[in-house]
Structure 1
Amino acid sequence: MASFETHRRRVHDTDRTVHARHSALRTCLVAFAPYGFRATYHHLCRSARIPRDLEKDPASLIRAVEELDAARRHWLADEAVFVARRRQEKAAGTRRPQSDGSWRDAGRASPGMLAYCPNPEFHPDEPLPAVVERVLRSVVPPTAASSWCLVCGRAGATTRWRSECYVHRLCARCGVSLGAERTAAKSNVCRARAERWSEIWRRAA
């Protein structure tokens, strides 16, 4: 699969159709989506003002991918520091990563998905680079790890949201998942979620 940078260039390529450029943006999101694919896509549609008819504003795709790329650069810089630290630790005989109170200790994020928001319409509304940088600099208190919001930087009120297989505890302020419990999904909930996502994807919501 081609790299993020390859698809970023394709989004900029005005010789391609707007739908091909939109597809390239989608592939960039597969590689890096701080809130998860769906919530990050929804955020970019709003922040870059991507219209339902892409022909009306092709430049919106460029605005979207550049915001995503700026956030990704923060993450890559953090990854480089982490990799260098791990090399030093391994050379010193330390095989397991040492806890440093960073976002990695929260145990809720995976590479490229630093602040998962399971509800695609409930996520931080600040620019992605600002949110990603804040998460990367966050310090998670050990005693509050299960209720600490990486974006807001504190523990607080929560709300619940059901996905297909899980009930998530969300930060009531920004929608970041603070944990989830597996549960039997209700078919009507799954169907409604799928229909709503279809509207979001087509920018009809």
Structure 2
Amino acid sequence: MEIAGQQPKFCIGIGCSAGGLEPACAFFQQVVEKTGAAFVVIPHLGREHKSKFSTILEKCTNMPVHRVEDNIKLETDHVYVLSEDRMMIVEDGYLKVRKRYSREIINKSIDIFFKSMAKAYRENSIGVILSGMGTDGIEGIRVIEDSHGLVIVQDPDTTDFNILPQAAISKDDPHAILPPAGIARFLLKYLKLSNSQN
């Protein structure tokens, strides 16, 4: 098992938009043991208003939660939340952040991050799609699949906004479709098994 401060073996990207905060909290409330993974949350946010996503998420987990506005090194068992008006990739063990271009009318922050995660972590990349509208993340989970990573989608019946999860299911073949707490339990077992085999 990795120890805190070391490069995470796994990267778990969690994409969501409308209605994503509640399932994200439900997910993190179940993650109560060391995982060997870094958790990166990519919520769709308005450009202008400062997001409270990371502040609220801090109340749902014992792991350190970082509001990501600038480049930051990934650490095991830390949570990183993308801030508003930013785009982010993972490369060389760092989250690298830039401002969202004015021409980026359609928010593709989940796709951009998932594609970089698949490239950086290959079979150790894990993409999670929670409640949301639109189709951002669909291209990204295909790249994760192509890299032999893991894709898990929130059960649409447990979402407030099911368009994004439904699209993820219809366009891809996720490894599991579960409610948020079930996703966490599935991942804990998966990570425990993967870590024990190395």
Q: TM-score if structure 2 supplies the norm length?
A: 0.27
The structure whose residues are more often helix, as a share, is 1
The structure whose residues are more often strand, as a share, is 2
Which of the pair has the greater relative contact order for Cα pairs under 8 Å at 6+ separation? 2
Instruction: Name which one, 1 or 2, has greater alpha-carbon Rg.
Output: 1
